[in-house]
A and B are shown apart, each in its own frame.
Chain A
Amino acid sequence: MNTLLNAKAAKPFFYFSVIVVALVAFFAAFAFEKVAAQAPPRRIISLVPAVTEMLFAIGAGPQVIAVSNYDIEPAEVRSLPTVGALLDPDTERIIAMKPDLVITYGSQNDLKQQLTTVRIPFFDYRHGGLDHIMTTMRALGERTGHVQQAEHAAQSLQRAIDAVKTRVAGKRRPKTLLVFGREPGGLRNIYASAGRGFLHDMLLVAGGEDVLQDIDKESAQISTETILARAPEVILEFNAATRLNEADLKKVVDPWMALSSVPAVKNRRVIVLTGPGMTVPGPRVAEGIEKMARALHP
């Protein structure tokens, strides 16, 4: 009787234990799987120069094994192998290098498809506004196992930005045109920053008013007529050269003299900002904002 009862009671107990063990095993496996997925990548390939800079800024630099053809900053990347760029990523090489994380740009659909096929995870990025730099740094920190350093880097960048904001607060904002490209020696094919994107944000932080803020684009090709009509008080022009001597500077500024009714030209406030880093939405934006603020509010 007793044994019978025991046997009867043991059966549900047996089933119960099986279920418990299975559940534990299932959750354990799931948890382990999750842990495995979260193990920080050791072999990162970055195809986006701005993100490469962010990776190095958050301490993930040593994990980067290859970069794009256009990566030059920080100096460490210059000795790394290159694997193509935005329009021509060398998919074969990328896969052959066995990366465990690839930083892709939003428009690289073919590459992303191929990476999915071979099960290489990727971190997709697109340029955005100024805040997007901090957001991306934090997301990268989480993805690469540098949460604290990323938080630290993002905060110090934010502090640098806020410091400039406070400094220029209350000052009159000069109407500013931000030019980042034109034909050398003339005023043809002028490309300027318009009402969206990080350059526009940088200009606002640095205490300027964007004369093209009504154009909802990151950049716009504008005619001399538009410049004459909008009459900017300051023209900030990026130049990729690291430094310009007096004569070269004059050569760069001279063509603007044709538009002498523009207040920026009349009052000699066409200011050339040198340094190749000015147009990279990475950790160096603080320097760029600083330069712009000094130019706008000397």
Chain B
Amino acid sequence: MSVRRRLVLIVSAFAIFTIAVLLWAPTVGSTAISLGRVFDRSIPWDSNVDAQIFFVARLPRVIAGALVGATLAAAGVVLQALLRNPLATPFTLGVSAGASLGAMLAVTMRLEFGLLGISSIPLASFAGSIVATGIVYALASSQRRGLSTNVLLLAGVTLNAFFSALILFVQYVADFAEALRAIRWMMGGLDVASYSPIVAAMPFVLVAMGAFAFLPRTLNLLSVGAEAAAARGVDVVSSQRVAFLSASLATGAAVSLGGPIGFIGIVVPHLVRLLVGADHRIVLPASALFGASFLVLCDLAARTVMAPLEIPVGVVTALIGGPFFLWLLVKKS
């Protein structure tokens, strides 16, 4: 089978699965709703509970989940290839720690500004991710020969630890209720109850995804080695730049939308690789699609299993993803 045929076949299979999940997820939840009533235009909006549950409580959640899941999974693929490290995640390079610190500061300093319907916490967390990305990027490109992936990795890990210490410090001096709220934010949550945060995160994600679209061939070569890639005519430095910056930007936007939801960025890429092989032309789009459906399904579990109580979605991703991944790992090897 030619690569192109394989690509089309596999990616469309993932796409069909994801579309099915996206269509199904908003119809189920802790409350039974009638789809007939949801789309019945003759009932005024203000008294159509079913429509409000569908359009206010569920649909934004599903869309946010798909966006965040796709972004984190794709960013995971890109960073694992870029750093040539299977343990890399979108959070390895300090982006999420920066985002968390920003959110933490917004919570504890009771910043209550807003911009275009976006509240202070996502804005501050996005700002934090940009700062973290900037620091890591500056450190990694300070050497003469372009971007050093080693420095990138070490700087990212160190920055993570440093920011985590700051987070703990802020948490420690914060008020009890605020510390709790900040901790809750770090467990991830997708009940956005409005479309504006999604609309705000969308441009960054789309730009990053657009950049990702040009990366797979380069990533295939880069994962063999920078020299080998350069020998095959890849502009290594600028591809590394594009890969790092777009992955970080997308991760920052995703984290500001749903919090630092763990596990997606590492498990989904590996899972997809186990299923379809290592060719990034297939792995990257398939991971984005599977990341979307995986997170939407995890969030479905989060909002129904203990209803009316919510389980933080970050807890669910690890609880479901961990054993599933280990099972697949053992079965395949």
A interface residue numbers (CB < 8 A to B): 70, 85-88, 181, 183-189, 212, 215, 217, 220-226, 228-231, 251, 258-261, 266
Residue of A188, A226, A258 touching B307 (CB-CB under 8 A): A226
Among B53, B177, B193, find the residue whose CB has the most chain A CB atoms closer than 10 A.
Answer: B193
Given A185-B120, A223-B303, A261-B52, 4 more contacts at CB 8 Å? A187-B193, A225-B30, A225-B31, A261-B46
Cβ–Cβ contact B309 & A85, under 8 A: no
Which residues of A are found within 8 Å of B112, using beta-carbon distances? 184-185, 251
Which residues of B are found within 8 Å of A184, using beta-carbon distances? 110, 112, 119-121
Cβ–Cβ contact A261 & B57, under 8 A: no
Which residues of B are found within 8 Å of A221, using beta-carbon distances? 184, 309-310
Which residues of A are found within 8 Å of B46, using beta-carbon distances? 260-261, 266
Would you give 25 A-B contacts (Cβ < 8 Å), ordered by A?
A87-B176, A181-B177, A183-B121, A184-B112, A184-B119, A186-B192, A186-B194, A186-B197, A188-B189, A188-B192, A189-B191, A220-B309, A221-B310, A222-B308, A222-B309, A223-B30, A223-B303, A224-B193, A225-B53, A228-B53, A228-B57, A260-B46, A260-B52, A261-B48, A261-B49
Q: In the complex, what residue of chain A is closest to B33 when comparing beta carbons?
A: A229
Q: Shortest beta-carbon distance, A256 to chain B, in Å?
A: 10
**A222 to B302 alpha-carbon distance, docked (Å):** 11
Residue of B53, B176, B181, B310 touching A229 (CB-CB under 8 A): B53
Q: Shortest beta-carbon distance, B126 to chain A, in Å?
A: 15
Residues of B281-311 contacting chain A, CB below 8 A: 303, 307-310
**A224 to B61 alpha-carbon distance, docked (Å):** 10
Which residues of A are found within 8 Å of B270, using beta-carbon distances? none
**A183 to B123 alpha-carbon distance, docked (Å):** 13
**A49 to B79 alpha-carbon distance, docked (Å):** 49
B114 interface hit (Cβ, 8 Å): yes
Which residues of A are found within 8 Å of B308, using beta-carbon distances? 212, 215, 220, 222-223, 226, 229-230
User: What is the number of residues of chain B that contact chain A, defined by CB distance less than 8 Å?
Assistant: 38
B interface residue numbers (CB < 8 A to A): 29-31, 45-49, 51-53, 56-58, 110, 112, 114, 119-121, 172, 175-177, 181, 184-185, 189, 191-194, 197, 303, 307-310
Q: Shortest beta-carbon distance, A267 to chain B, in Å?
A: 11
Among A87, A188, A223, A260, find the residue whose CB has the most chain B CB atoms closer than 10 A.
Answer: A223
Cβ–Cβ contact B310 & A88, under 8 A: no
Cβ–Cβ contact B172 & A189, under 8 A: no
Which residues of B are found within 8 Å of A229, using beta-carbon distances? 30-31, 49, 53, 308
Cβ–Cβ contact A224 & B56, under 8 A: yes
Cβ–Cβ contact B52 & A228, under 8 A: yes
Which residues of A are found within 8 Å of B114, using beta-carbon distances? 185
Cβ–Cβ contact B49 & A224, under 8 A: no
**A135 to B194 alpha-carbon distance, docked (Å):** 45
Query: Given A215-B309, A261-B46, A261-B48, is A224 in contact with B181 using a C-beta cutoff of 8 Å?
Result: no
Which residues of A are found within 8 Å of B31, using beta-carbon distances? 225-226, 228-229
**A86 to B29 alpha-carbon distance, docked (Å):** 37
Q: In the complex, what residue of chain A is closest to B190 when comparing beta carbons?
A: A188
Cβ–Cβ contact B172 & A259, under 8 A: no
Q: Shortest beta-carbon distance, B124 to chain A, in Å?
A: 12
Query: Given A185-B112, A231-B49, is A222 in contact with B193 using a C-beta cutoff of 8 Å?
Result: no
Q: Shortest beta-carbon distance, A297 to chain B, in Å?
A: 25
Cβ–Cβ contact A85 & B177, under 8 A: no
Q: Shortest beta-carbon distance, B307 to chain A, in Å?
A: 7
Which residues of A are found within 8 Å of B181, using beta-carbon distances? 181, 183, 189
Query: Given A224-B57, A258-B194, is A186 in contact with B49 using a C-beta cutoff of 8 Å?
Result: no
